[in-house]
Amino acid sequence: MLLARMAKAMSCTLMETGLVRRKMETCFTSPTRLILLLRPQPCAPPFSRSPSSRSSSASRQPTGPMAQDDSVVSAQWLHEHLGQPDVKVLDASWYMPVEKRDPLQEYQVAHIPGALFFDIDGIVDLTTDLPHMLPSQEAFAAAVSALDIKNHDKVIVYDGKGFFSAPRVWWMFRVYGHNKIWVLDGGLPQWRTSGFVLESSTPGDAVQKTKAANSVVERIYNGQLASDVTFQTEFQPHIFWTLEKVKHNMDAQSHQVVDARSKGRFDGVAPEPREGVRSGHIPGTKCVPFPEMFDDAPILLPADEIRKKFEQAGISLDRPIVVTCGSGVTACILALGLYRIGKQDIPVYDGSWTEWEALPDHDYPKVTSNGS
C-alpha cells in the first residue's frame, strides 16, 4: 500500500509539472514487490527544415508547430489546423499560357476545404503590359482585405502543381510586410497523396471574394478609393528589384544574379513560352532551374541539399543573391529554397527576362544562342 501511494503521488507530480508524457505500466515480480515503469515519450518534432539524413519524402513531412524560420508547412500540419479562425488558405494556382488551363475553374472543381482563390493575373500592376507584376501597396491591401485576410492571420498558400505559382504569392505578401505566410509543401498533389479530403463545391461567397479582390484592384488603378480596407501593409523594398536595380548591378556587381528557368531557355537554345520573346539570359547570370529545389513528390529539399544545388552552379552563399526567371513567378521558388537555408531577404527581379529581353540590346545586353 505504501509503495502504491508513493507511486501515485510521484505520477501526479510529474503530470502537474508537464515535464514528460508517460504511460504507466504495472507488473508484479512477486506478491509483495511492485515495479512502476514510467516511459517518457518524446516531444513532437519542431517544425523546421528537414534533416538531410531522411531519405524518403514522407520522412520530410514535419508536423509540429510552425516556425518563422522555414518557408513551408506540411499537408499534415494544415490538415490538423484547417478551420481555425486565424488560418487562411489560398489557392494560387496559375499555369503558363501554352498550357491552356483555367486555374479558377479547376479551383471550383476541387480545392482544399475553405480555401479562397488568389488570382495572380488579377491582383497585379495594371499600368504595365508585363504579366502579373506586383500591384501597388494600396491595391494589394485592398485586394487582400476583400479576401477577408487580417494582419494577425496565418496564411497558407498552395498551387495545383506543387511548387510553381504559390511561392510568388508567398513573396508578394512578404514584400508588403506580412511574414505570417507559408507555402504548403508539395501543394495540392501532396494534399491528395496524403489522402485528405477535397472540396468539390464552391460557396458563392468564395468566388465572389475573388471577383471582389480583382475588382477593387481595377477601381484603385482607375483612381477610385477603396472602402473597408482592413489589411495593413509595410513595403519591404530590399526584396523587390526593379529593372533599374538590375541594370545598376551589372556595373556594381553587388549581387549574384541567379535565373530559375530551364537550362535550354537560359542558354538560348530552347524557345521561350511567350510569343516574340527570345531565349537567353542577362550577362553574368548563373542558372539554377527551379525544379532543383524539390524532389519528385514534390517536397522541398532539406537545407544541405539546397545548398549543394547553388554551390554546384558556382554560386557563393556568402555573397548577396538576386533571383530572376521568365516573368517573376518561378524565381520565387528559388527565394523559397534560399529562405530554408537562412537567406531570408533574397530580392526577386519582378520584370525578369520578359522585361529585360524587350529592351534595346545596346543598353540592356543579352546572351543568346547566336552569341549576342
Residues labelled as active-site residues: 325
CA distance 27 to 36: 7
Residue 256 is classified by DSSP as E
**Using alpha carbons only, what angle is made at residue 47 by residues 44 and 48, rounded to the nearest 5 degrees?**
130
**Using alpha carbons only, what angle is made at residue 231 by residues 113 and 146, rounded to the nearest 5 degrees?**
50
- C-beta of residue 320 within 8 angstroms of C-beta of residue 207: no
Alpha-carbon separation of residue 62 from 1, 58, 158, 191, 237 (angstroms)? 45, 9, 17, 14, 32
CA distance 146 to 220: 13
For the chain, the straight-line distance linking the first and the last C-alpha, in angstroms and rounded, comes to 91
Q: Retrieve residue 369's grid coordinates.
A: 544562342
Beta carbons within 10 angstroms of residue 64's beta carbon = 14
- Residue 278 half-sphere exposure toward CB, CA atoms < 13 A: 19
* DSSP secondary structure letters along 83-130: T-TTEEEEE-----GGG---HHHHHHHSB-TT-EE--TTTSS-TT-SS
